[in-house]
Amino acid sequence: MARLPVSGQAYPGLSRMTAVTPPESSARRPRRSRPVRVAEAIKDWVVEQGLRPGDRLPGEAELIARFQMSKGTIREAMRILQAQGLVETKTGPGGGSFVGEVSRERAHALLANYFYFQNLTIADVYALRLSLEPELAASLAGRLTEAQLAELDEIMKAYAVPAEDSEGERAQHVASLRFHARLSDFGDNALLGFFIGFMAQILTDLTVYKRLYAAPNHDLWRRGRDHQLQLIAALRSGDAAAARQVMESHMKMARDLMEDQEAEVMKRFIAE
C-alpha cells in the first residue's frame, strides 16, 4: 500500500487540493483540533491515492505511529470520518477501516439535519417537485426497460384498493412516494435523482412521523392512482408530452392535498 504523506512530523502539510472551507473563513477559524486535522489528512490522502470504496485504510496502530498521536486522538479522527460515511470499520482479524461509499440514505439524513433548523414548508417541497418531476417523466418516456416498468407496476400493487383507515392511507402514501423515488433512480442524472429522492424521503418521514395523511379519501385515491397508471402507459409508449403533462397534474393534485394537512415542517433530526 502506498504510504501516508507523513513521515515523522506530527502534522503533515495537507495537500492543497481539497480546500476545507472558503478562504475567507481561514482567518477567523480558531485552529482545528488534532482529531479534525488528522481526519482531513486522511481524507486528502484517500483522494491523492485515488482510493475507491472498499479499499483498506491503515490500522489504528499504524496511524498512531505515522501521526505520532495517541490512540484516543486517532480514534476520534476515525469517528469523524465514520460520521460522514466516508469510512467503515470492522473488528477482528482482517478487520480495520475501509473507504466507504457514502450511501444515499446517509446523504439524505445528513442533509435533513441541515433543514432541521430551516423552516421549510410543504409548499416549498411541492414547488420543487412541480419543477422537476414532470421534466424527469418526459425524459424517461420510451427509455425504461420492461423490468423497470414492471417494478413500478409492482409498487402500485400496494395501493390497488382504497385504504380503509388512516394507517392504511399512510402506508399507501409512503408506497406512492417510493414510486417517485424509484422513478428518479431510473434516470441517468444522479443529481436529479438525488434531489427528487430527497424530497420523497422528507415527505415520507412527514407522513410516518407526523401522522400526516390522516384522512382517507377515495376520490383522491382513485385520481392519484389513475395518474400513475397513465404515467406508466405514457412512459411505455414513449409519449414524452403526455408523461410530462400527467406528472404535472399529479404533482398539483398531491400538492393541494398535502397543503391541506399542515404548513410547518421539519421537526426532526436524523441520527447516526
Partner DNA sequence: TAAGATTTGTTCGTATGTATC
Partner DNA sequence: GGATACATACGAACAAATCTT
Binding site for DNA (CB under 7 A): 30-31, 33-35, 59-61, 68-73, 75-76, 78, 89-97
Q: How far is the CB of 209 from a second copy (least distance, A)?
A: 6
264 is an interface residue for a second copy by CB under 8 A: no
Residue 92 binding: pick among a second copy, DNA, none (C-beta 5-8 Å cut-off by kind): DNA
**How far is residue 153 CA from its own chain's centroid?**
24
SS3 140: helix
Question: Site residues for a second copy, window 67-86 (CB under 8 A)?
Answer: 72, 75-76, 79-86
Closer CB to DNA, 34 or 236, in the complex: 34
Closest C-alpha among 176, 186, 200, 190 to residue 148: 186
Helix (H) or strand (E) holding 120: none
Residue 269 binding: pick among DNA, a second copy, none (C-beta 5-8 Å cut-off by kind): a second copy
Helix (H) or strand (E) holding 211: none
Q: How far is the CB of 67 from a second copy (least distance, A)?
A: 15
Grid coordinates belonging to 256: 393541494
The residues, ordered by sequence, that sit 6+ positions from 77 with a Cβ below 8 Å of its Cβ are 34, 35, 36, 38, 39, 42, 63
- For the chain, state the CA radius of gyration: 24
151 is an interface residue for a second copy by CB under 8 A: no
Q: How far is the CB of 267 from a second copy (least distance, A)?
A: 7
Residue 169 binding: pick among DNA, a second copy, none (C-beta 5-8 Å cut-off by kind): none
Question: Site residues for a second copy, window 187-246 (CB under 8 A)?
Answer: 189-192, 194-195, 199, 205, 208-209
Quote the CA–CA distance of 253 and 219 in Å, as a whole number: 12
